[in-house]
Amino acid sequence: MLERGQRLRARDWLKYTIMTNQSADRAVSSKSLAAARDRPMLPSDDDDFLKETIDPKLDMNSVEFNATAYLAAKHADTKYAGLVAELETLKRSTSDKTEQLKALVASHFDQYLSCHEAIREVSDEIRAHESDSERLTTAFRSLKSTADKTLSLMLQRCEEQRKTRHALAVLARYRSFFEIPARMRASLAKKDYVKLVEDYVHLKAHAGKANMSLLKPVLESATKTATTANDELLHVLRDPDAVYADQKQAIYVVDAFGITPKPSLLCVKTQLADMERILTSLSGPVVPIDSKTRSIKPKDTRSAPAAVVARSSAEIIADCGRLLRRFERGLWPILCDTMALSTLCATEQEALHTSAADVLATCVRHLREQTLYTTNVSAEMVASLHTISLDLDSLGPCPDSVLTAKLDALKAAFCGQVRSDVLLAFFTAVTHAAESRWSTSVEMHGAAWAAAAAALHDSIQYAAQNDRPDVLEAAAGVFDNTLFEWWCTLQPVLTQALETNLALDDAMHAAFCATLLQSVVAHGQTLLSLFGTLLSADVLVDDAPTSLASLVVVANCLAVPRRAGFLAFLNALQDTKVDVRSLSLSSTILECGKRFHDSRVALLCATLDDEESFYVPGSRTEVRPYVFSVLYYLVSWRSHVEFCIRSDTERHVHSLLSQCADTLQHFLAGRAEDATRCASSDEAQWQRTQLHVEASFFKKTLAAFVSTKATAWDSLIKRLASHTSSGEVADLLSQVELQTQMYRLSLMQ
């Protein structure tokens, strides 16, 4: 303990020494910081030390810092006397710190003694607790010994009870045979046929032994109960709505009773005979698929009824679907199990093969006939046929390889071609319905749209820039609703078909999906084409130069791709990795754009031919007035395009007005060619000057809002510059620009 106390005192002494040094350092640092704050800290741009490079050995923040080199550089110019004085000051400072440390240790020595005493008290308490634990262990052992003595009598009595129960179990083993009839009746009441047959087989096995003659009356009573249960299970085997688990259990129980031979064969023959009767009621006797090559006669169970009632397509499809569902629910697995039985003879196997193949083939034939010429395919019919396809596809391979091959052929025919034809017919029917809805909407709203488009030119100058007329997107909104309804009807069926692989391999399913997606894209393009056709050819067909009908059609065509219905349609198709680039209204937009700029080009050409003024002596300082008419047309047309088309405006302005700019350039180039070939005269010089001014003015003005062919304009201006006076051209050009600016200001007011 003494040695440990010395170590603790040494450790405390070291801690106090470090704390004192840190306190002293912080005091010195505080004084240094206070002194530094009194000095200006911001260097000027003229300080030379900012341009110097510091040696890493002298930089305290560098990893290569060398204290010796730093002190040598720091005191290189300090005299020896100054160094000695500073050394003495440092020694006194160190001595003062040592005295401070000693005083600090002396002031905390009482705390150290109190801690040492507290540790001794804790050590005494631990020793006391150790002695208490030993006494507790001794008390526990005494208590255990007392409990063992007290409970020994109870353990002895438990052993006697175990022996008594063992004896009763031995007696119950012999008594169980007499209780079997009662248990069987209870199991029959609860429909627990498995437990019933287990008891019956157990009793029957022991009753045949030589020393078990007393059990014969018990066996007779149990046989009566087994016969009753057997009759009930035969009803289950004939039930068309029974599931596979119930029929499998019934076959097992009946076979274990041994009362009815070959229960599985009986079940299959009964079910197939009932299905043949239903098929005969649909369209007469069942026709075997290869009866010409068979020598086996049809069975009596397939005889036609006295009268055949005509059935609708929906009823026939529903009946055939129920028959195929009976195969899927349990008849087909039972048939496969029966075909694999070793107790089945060749004749019985052939009869089952023939009957099953004919029923399946007749069901598929009826379904194909009812869907082959149907044009009005509804969603309910598609859903019913989808369920039938799943039921048919769920039928697995059979031990009879020939029957399996026939089943695969039926699957390929129905789940492949018939299913594809029905889905394509459904897509066509849904598209026709959407086309009818859109045509009806055009008939209802077409007159209003045409009137609004006709009045758009007169009201556009009074409308605010953000106040867009409804006619610019009215048709797109109505068509989007039509497209949305069409897609909401089509998408669930398409998604279900794409996600359900019923093909024999992945390549066939991929081809099936590609066919469906191509059909959907084609129908979508048909709807888009119908939208543009009815809108541009039947409603908004005004080709007058002042009409904005073409721009209204373009604005509606551009608004369709921004609508929620069209976006959902494209996103769903893009998720399937199908090419949707053909789904656009570009052809309608190009056609309407051509109609727009053709009418404007015709008006521009007429204006250029009619309003061009000729030479008048004394008018060399005036610009021809047709320039402002042409400029007015171009500015008005551009404002019309900007007002009607908000998305990607610059591209559409260039597309719709570039031909007007080209027409103006060709006109000026032709006039310049004619003026150049003319003899030198005042009229020819005047015309060349006017053309030079007009070409320079239109090049600069059109470049602000129409992408022009700068090379052609530069070539024209260069060709005219060689025959004109630059000063005269500059004066006229500034004049026309000033008049244009004044005209703009007057329009703004």
Identify the weakest region by mean pLDDT among 178-192, 442-456, 657-671, 733-747: 733-747
Highest mean pLDDT among 69-78, 243-252, 617-626: 243-252
pLDDT score recorded for residue 15: 44
Q: What's the rounded mean pLDDT across residues 398-417? A: 87
**582 and 618 inside one domain:** no
Overall domain count for the chain = 2
pLDDT score recorded for residue 620: 55
Amino acid at 288: P
Question: Tokens 């998720």 label which residue?
Answer: 575
Give the end of a domain, one of 568, 596, 624: 596
pLDDT in tens, 279-336: 888 764 434 434 333 433 433 333 334 344 556 778 888 888 888 898 888 888 888 8
Name the pLDDT band for 640 (thresholds 50, 70, 90). Answer: confident
Alpha helices in 678-708 (DSSP H): 682-702
Neighbours of 649 (CB within 10 A): 14
Q: What's the rounded mean pLDDT across residues 139-143? A: 85
Residue 639 placed within a domain: yes
**462 and 575 inside one domain:** yes
Q: What's the rounded mean pLDDT across residues 144-166? A: 82
pLDDT score recorded for residue 652: 64
Angstrom distance (rounded) from CA 452 to CA 470: 9
pLDDT score recorded for residue 540: 67
Angstrom distance (rounded) from CA 629 to CA 693: 16
Instruction: Give 504: exposed, middle or buried? Use CB within 10 Å, 0-12, 13-18, 19+.
Output: middle
pLDDT score recorded for residue 432: 92
Buried b (16+ CB within 10 A) or exposed e, 528-566: bebbbebbbeebbebeebebbbbbbbbbbbbbbbebebb
Is the predicted pLDDT of residue 689 greater than 70, yes or no? yes
pLDDT in tens, 188-246: 898 888 898 888 888 888 777 755 666 778 888 888 998 999 899 989 888 888 888 88
Q: What's the rounded mean pLDDT across residues 369-383? A: 78
Is the predicted pLDDT of residue 591 greater than 50, yes or no? yes
Residue 250 placed within a domain: no
**592 and 615 inside one domain:** no
Q: Measure the CA dihedral 611/613/619/622, to 10°.
A: 40
pLDDT in tens, 3-37: 444 444 444 444 444 444 444 444 444 444 444 44
Angle between helix 586-610 and 626-644 (nearest 10): 160
- Give yes or no for a contact between 112 and 12, defined as CB atoms under 8 angstroms apart: yes
Best CA proximity match to 196, nearest among 257, 153, 146: 257
pTM assigned to the model = 0.60
Residue 228 placed within a domain: no
Angstrom distance (rounded) from CA 252 to CA 261: 12
pLDDT score recorded for residue 28: 41
Is the predicted pLDDT of residue 596 greater than 60, yes or no? yes
Identify the weakest region by mean pLDDT among 456-465, 551-560, 619-628: 456-465
Residue 170 placed within a domain: no
Q: Which two tokens stand for residue 542?
A: 């005004």
- Please work out, in degrees rounded to the nearest 5, the angle formed at the alpha carbon of residue 607 by the alpha carbons of 602 and 608: 100
Tell me the CA distances in angstroms from 207 to 64, 198, 217, 220, 257, one per residue in order.
106, 14, 10, 10, 15
pLDDT score recorded for residue 3: 44
**584 and 695 inside one domain:** no
Residue 238 placed within a domain: no
Residue 216: its H or E element: helix 216-238
Average pLDDT in the chain: 75
pLDDT score recorded for residue 311: 66
Q: What's the rounded mean pLDDT across residues 499-523? A: 85
**638 and 571 inside one domain:** no
State the Rg of the chain over Cα: 53
**547 and 509 inside one domain:** yes
pLDDT score recorded for residue 31: 44
- Give yes or no for a contact between 13 and 102, defined as CB atoms under 8 angstroms apart: no
Is the predicted pLDDT of residue 555 greater than 70, yes or no? yes
**585 and 691 inside one domain:** no
Report the largest interatomic distance among the alpha carbons of the chain, rounded to a whole angstrom: 152
Q: What's the rounded mean pLDDT across residues 737-747? A: 64
**536 and 625 inside one domain:** no
DSSP string, 196-221: HHHHHHHHHHHHTSTT-GGGHHHHHH
Residue 463 placed within a domain: yes
Residue 677 placed within a domain: yes
**517 and 582 inside one domain:** yes
Give the end of a domain, one of 551, 569, 596: 596
**441 and 538 inside one domain:** yes
Length of the chain: 749
pLDDT score recorded for residue 611: 56
pLDDT in tens, 459-469: 665 555 556 77
Identify the weakest region by mean pLDDT among 288-297, 452-461, 589-598: 288-297
Residue with more model confidence, 35 or 373? 373
Residue 694 placed within a domain: yes
Is the predicted pLDDT of residue 173 greater than 50, yes or no? yes
pLDDT score recorded for residue 283: 66
Q: Which two tokens stand for residue 666?
A: 């060709």
Angstrom distance (rounded) from CA 121 to CA 138: 27
**551 and 643 inside one domain:** no
**659 and 573 inside one domain:** no
pLDDT score recorded for residue 389: 87
Is the predicted pLDDT of residue 481 greater than 70, yes or no? yes
Angstrom distance (rounded) from CA 132 to CA 735: 119
Give the end of a domain, one of 596, 630, 662: 596
pLDDT score recorded for residue 653: 67
* Residue 727: domain span: 611-748
pLDDT score recorded for residue 613: 54
pLDDT score recorded for residue 307: 43
pLDDT score recorded for residue 665: 73
User: Hey, is 360 helix, strand or coil?
Assistant: helix
Is the predicted pLDDT of residue 430 greater than 80, yes or no? yes
Residue with more model confidence, 662 or 204? 204
pLDDT in tens, 62-89: 878 888 888 888 888 888 888 888 888 8
